Structure 1
Amino acid sequence: MGTDYVHGYTDAETRRLTDQAQTLADLLHGGTQYESGSRVLEVGCGVGAQTVQLVTRSPGIELVAVDRSEESLTAAKARVAAVAPEARVEWHHGDLTDLPYEDASFDHLFVCFVLEHLAEPAQVLRDLARLIRPGGSITVIEGDHGSAFFHPRSDDAQALIEGLNVLQARVGGDALIGRRVQPLLVEAGYREVMAGPRTVYADETTPDLVDGFTRKTFIAMVESVRVDAIAAGLRTTDQWERGVRALERTAEPGGTFHYTFFKAIGLR
């Protein structure tokens, strides 16, 4: 059920994920704190950008972090060791659809920016449910590229975002999945599911967000598929350059950028 990671496993993507996690730490992780001694499973930990937030905001947890990329796990281990050397983390290389853990062996499950890359997210959520003890929780965070709007408005910039959405769909993912997290969790059998928006708005009065999110997270994410988008005939080189320049104008004085993430919590 896994898919190719549309953004690629590059140093630039590692930097983007790190910038994103640091810039949006309070926005995305606010309200998520696990009790000391609880056993938490993070599936799709990637390079550990969110892992660091989990172990520093919930000290004393026993975390199991899973990813299918050995290279990403190596980066995650180094990141956590540098920031929280006392953290108790078990690292597992493998696919989230084939995990070697017994039923009800975790108190909590954390899933961030993973479902968007899966062809059958509801089925994966159902399969993962067996790992959570009765009464335990699942937390899901996903973005929604359809929520990106900006000033100055630009058809060239919008076309780049649509091209990214198309590429993600071609490898089995859904770049608009944020709006679906609540019904997906209900469909998968979780109880008392509550979801809500976590919105980013950046303009010249919030320079940290302009730099950390508009430039280094969103525009960098779009730029990560430049080669594939042009090769697929979704944009010409000239069209791509016009679109990127238009996106960059939203990070300049007088520009604004808006994006919404969705965070949902359910019980087993």
Structure 2
Amino acid sequence: MEATTTADDPASGPGNGYVHGYSGREARRLGDQAEALADLLHDGTSYPAGSRVLEVGCGVGAQTVQLLARSPGARLTAVEVSAASLEQARARVAASLPRARVDWRHGDLHDLPFPDGAFDHLFVCFVLEHLPDPRAALAGLRRVLRPGGTVTVIEGDHGSAFFHPDSAHARAAIAHLVALQAAAGGDALIGRRLAPLLSAAGYARVGVGPRTVYADGSRPALARAFTRDTFTAMVQAVRADAVAAGLATPADWNRGVADLHRTAAPDGTFHYTFFKGTAVNPAP
């Protein structure tokens, strides 16, 4: 999940599936990502006033701010397994939207502390990629979603990244990140699987579509915010783990990251695709 934890936080440490690490830098990257992609990812997502909405795995609150801004009248509950991240989310929302009201809950998405059918809508963003069994997680979430309620899921797919100038070192660094996430029990290529996952989890009226980011010299702000400060920063952050695992030498890794930075230059280009899915919880 999107989180920043401390050493005594139960969500921290190896084996929690969050390969990107739990640092202040990662929390800042998540905030930068949410702001840079807000219109792209949240277009079409707006919940009616009074509707009960659960954000599953709110992390440090980067997406929570966007949800609140677009659905100010909704009754939002945000749940997160990391207590430290939950506190950061609370502080982020208080700073950005001081009048917003959120029911903050510390809990695991596999064992949610809510009654059956407690929510009208679920929002799940950048969470499934870190889970060993995303289908089971989606199926389990149906319990707290009323019949006829909707789920919205957003995930990336690192296999959709291509760029100019092309670089074997950069492609290798991305592949090593994918491998590290798989070793941690996740799937950095999960975006392409959203439709079958939702269907297999028992949802109806499944619809999934791509949300593409493309940056070149005519979009310098996007190249800086996404290509450099979001995607490349994410790859750069796993350097120590990749080197320790024997996936790359320090020199090769540094070359790959430098080449990714090169794609954010005025004559570079970068492409990446997110996938956004919606579905309905059918009546029994």
Runs of 4 or more above 6 Å deviation: none
Larger deviation, residues 138-147 vs 204-213 = 204-213
Q: Is residue 225 of structure 1 aligned with residue 238 of structure 2? A: yes
Conserved? CA contact 1:42–1:110, under 8 Å: yes
Q: Distance in 1 between matches of 2:153 and 2:221?
A: 25
Q: Secondary structure at the match of 1:137?
A: strand
Question: Cα deviations across residues 207-264 of structure 1 (Å, max 9, x unaligned)?
Answer: 1110110000000000110110011010111111111111111011211000000000
Conserved? CA contact 2:52–2:119, under 8 Å: yes
Question: Cα deviations across residues 167-190 of structure 1 (Å, max 9, x unaligned)?
Answer: 000010000000001110000011
Q: Is residue 120 of structure 1 aligned with residue 133 of structure 2? A: yes
Conserved? CA contact 1:3–1:173, under 8 Å: no
Letter of the 1:79 counterpart: R
- Provide the alpha-carbon RMSD of the alignment: 0.8
Q: Secondary structure at the match of 2:25?
A: helix
| TM-score using structure 1 length | 0.98
Offset, 1:68: 1.0
Partner of 2:6: none
- Identity score, percent: 65
Q: Distance in 1 between matches of 2:134 and 2:216?
A: 34
- For residue 31 of structure 2, the aligned residue among 18, 25, 30 is 18
Partner of 2:5: none
* Count of residues paired in the alignment: 267
Q: Is residue 96 of structure 1 aligned with residue 109 of structure 2? A: yes
- For residue 186 of structure 1, the aligned residue among 199, 219, 237 is 199
Letter of the 1:115 counterpart: L
Offset, 1:83: 1.5
- For residue 263 of structure 2, the aligned residue among 210, 229, 250 is 250
| Uncovered stretches (5+) of structure 2, i.e. residues with no partner | 1-14
Partner of 2:4: none
Q: Distance in 2 between matches of 1:118 and 1:182?
A: 17
Conserved? CA contact 2:220–2:266, under 8 Å: no
Q: Distance in 1 between matches of 2:57 and 2:206?
A: 21
> What does 1:165-244 correspond to in 2, within 5 Å?
165-244=178-257
| TM-score using structure 2 length | 0.93
Q: Distance in 1 between matches of 2:87 and 2:38?
A: 22
Offset, 1:36: 0.6
Q: Is residue 74 of structure 1 aligned with residue 83 of structure 2? A: no
Q: Distance in 2 between matches of 1:202 and 1:257?
A: 5
Partner of 2:46: 33
Q: Distance in 2 between matches of 1:88 and 1:106?
A: 16
Conserved? CA contact 1:60–1:88, under 8 Å: no
Q: Distance in 2 between matches of 1:244 and 1:139?
A: 33
Q: Secondary structure at the match of 1:253?
A: coil
Conserved? CA contact 1:3–1:119, under 8 Å: no
Partner of 2:148: 135
Q: Secondary structure at the match of 2:160?
A: strand
Q: Secondary structure at the match of 2:64?
A: helix
Offset, 1:110: 0.2
Question: Cα deviations across residues 94-121 of structure 1 (Å, max 9, x unaligned)?
Answer: 2110111011000000000000000000
> What does 1:135-154 correspond to in 2, within 5 Å?
135-154=148-167
Q: Distance in 2 between matches of 1:185 and 1:217?
A: 27
